[in-house]
Amino acid sequence: MPRLHIIIAITFIFLVGTAAWASEEESGSAQGGVTLTEAIDLALSNNLELKAAEEGVAAAQFGIKAAKALNRFSLSANESYSKAGPGITEKIPGLGEFDIRPSKWQDVFSIALSQPIFTFGLNRNVLRIAEYGLDSALADYQAKINEIKYNVESSYYDLVQLKMLLDVQQQNLERARNDKHNAELRFEAGQSAKFEVIRADVAVKNAEEQLIGTKKKIEVAKLAWTRLIGIGEYREPVVVNPEAVKPSDLSFALDEAEEVALRMRPELKGLTAGIGSVETGASLKSLRPDLRFIGSYNLSDWATTFTTKEDWRLVFNLSIPLWDGGKANADVAKGMALAEQLRIKSRDLEELIKIEVADAYLAVAESAERMNATAATLALAEEAKRMADIGYTEGVVTLQELLSAEVDLSGAKVNRIGAVYGYLKAKAKLRKAMGVDTLLDEMTSGN
């Protein structure tokens, strides 16, 4: 029995320990690397400017409800307690005394109802302005989302590119130190000149200097990355394997990209809504009649000879403004001028968007070609370095030639990394310029 107890205890401890280890592993994974999609979700959840834009959308939605309420009836109640003086009493011969205005406190309760019947377009235009306000708020909200997504994606690629560059430079430094050590051994053995040692030492210093600069850039990139995702602590981005990125030709023409951008860019949608709002607001300034129904009921705690304690009134009221000194016409003209100003800005923005799209479109094409070129160059540099290593070992390649091959390989790796992430950033820039989340070729190729 004691042995059975011991076995059970050991098994229990093992199971508990395994569960705890698994929990720690899961927690570590949860707090570990963050993918680009997760980073964008975090940024959208934590960005204060986006939350402010979201509140702007909510305010615009309430504005529409308020505008619709203008067509409904309004009901109000009022109670007053008043006293007027001096009291007026009239004596009429043969009839006696009559209270015209008693000098005592009077309590009056009243209810009033007002229902618009026809506002000659006033309420309809107020609603249109509110709807334009919602369109504008939604455009601002979408523009902020697009900006956040692009900034996070750009920061993500910058940071990952720097970290991969750091790996290459660390390998370069390790190789340079190894070459320096071998040069010193060859010099001590009388197999090479002192110049080779000095040259190897210079290569080490250069590699160290490059490493220091890249580390500094990484720290700055980490700060920008942490600020963008908005969680208050640094989360390591998951590295994208450069070899998994396959460049492809864009499956749509430049004019098609421009057409999509002019249709999808929220900045243009916001300006269009602004033009509509200003024009409609200008029309509100014009003089227009107003027809409404008004009903009222009054109840007092006392009556006079000529009044009763309660009375009611039903009124159909038509109000027609005749002249305001020209103010309404001036306000309308001012609004139309402001609308034309916005139209000019909209046309200017369209041209700027076309330039932005063209620049991004050509950058994608160029970076795709650069990816193909750097892939071929990297393969050649790796083969040249392999042959230089063999030749140096056999004594048919000098240290200078070996160092030159290493520099060429290092440059090819750096260029390859730059080409891959340049391609990814170019596509992100094109998506932002077009105002879309996914390009057509991305849906078909997965890049």
In the chain, domain spans: 34-70+120-284+322-445, 75-118+288-321
Mean pLDDT confidence for 167-180: 90
Mean residue pLDDT of the chain comes to 86
pLDDT of residue 18: 35
Instruction: Reply yes or no on whether the pLDDT at 22 is more than 50.
Output: no
Q: How far is CA 181 from the centre of its chain?
A: 53
Give me the pLDDT at residue 442, please. 52
What is the mean predicted confidence (pLDDT) over 8-24? Answer: 36
pLDDT exceeds cutoff 50 at 3: no
Q: Tell me the Cα Rg of the chain.
A: 40
pLDDT at 14: 34
Rounded Cα distance between 111 and 297, Å, is 5
How many whole angstroms from its chain centre is CA 395? 60
Mean pLDDT of 8-28: 35
Write the DSSP string, 361-423: HHHHHHHHHHHHHHHHHHHHHHHHHHHHHHHHHHTSS-HHHHHHHHHHHHHHHHHHHHHHHHH
Q: What digits encode the pLDDT tens for the residues 253-271?
A: 999 999 999 999 999 999 9
At 302 the pLDDT is: 75
Query: Tell me, what's the pLDDT at 377?
Result: 95
For residues 413 and 378, is the Cβ–Cβ distance under 8 A?
A: yes
Strands 310-319 and 290-300: antiparallel
DSSP SS3 for 134: helix
Q: How many CA atoms lie within 13 A of 265 on its CB side?
A: 23
**If pLDDT is split at 50, 70 and 90, which confidence band does 62 have?**
very high
Residues above pLDDT 90, as percent of the chain: 64
Banded pLDDT at 420 (limits 50, 70, 90): very high
- Going by pLDDT thresholds of 50, 70 and 90, the confidence category of residue 98 is low
Mean pLDDT score, 280-294: 91
Give the pLDDT mean for 203-229. Answer: 94
DSSP-based three-state secondary structure for 116: strand
Question: What was the pLDDT predicted at 128?
Answer: 96
pLDDT, tens only, 299-341: 988 777 667 889 999 999 999 999 989 999 999 999 999 999 9
Lowest mean pLDDT among 11-25, 143-157, 217-231: 11-25
pLDDT (tens digit per residue) in 106-161: 889 999 999 999 999 999 999 999 999 999 999 999 999 999 999 999 999 999 99
pLDDT in tens, 338-397: 999 999 999 999 999 999 999 999 999 999 999 999 999 999 999 999 999 899 888 888
Give the CB-side neighbour count of residue 190, counting CA atoms within 13 A.
Answer: 0
Share of the chain above pLDDT 70, in %: 87
Q: How far apart are CA 235 and CA 41, in angstroms?
A: 14
**Reduced DSSP (H G I as helix, E B as strand, rest coil) percent helix, strand, coil of the chain, to 5:** 70, 15, 20
> What is the C-alpha separation between 417 and 414, in angstroms, rounded?
5
If one counts every other C-beta atom within 10 angstroms of the C-beta of residue 237, the result is 23
Instruction: Indicate whether 441 pLDDT > 70.
Output: no
Topology of the domain comprising 75-118+288-321? Outer membrane efflux proteins (OEP) (2.20.200)
**Dist CA 401 CA 196 (whole Å):** 11
Question: Does residue 42 or residue 392 have the better pLDDT?
Answer: 42
Is the predicted pLDDT of residue 21 greater than 50, yes or no?
no
The arithmetic mean of pLDDT across residues 220-243, rounded, is 88
Architecture of the CATH domain 34-70+120-284+322-445:
Up-down Bundle (1.20)
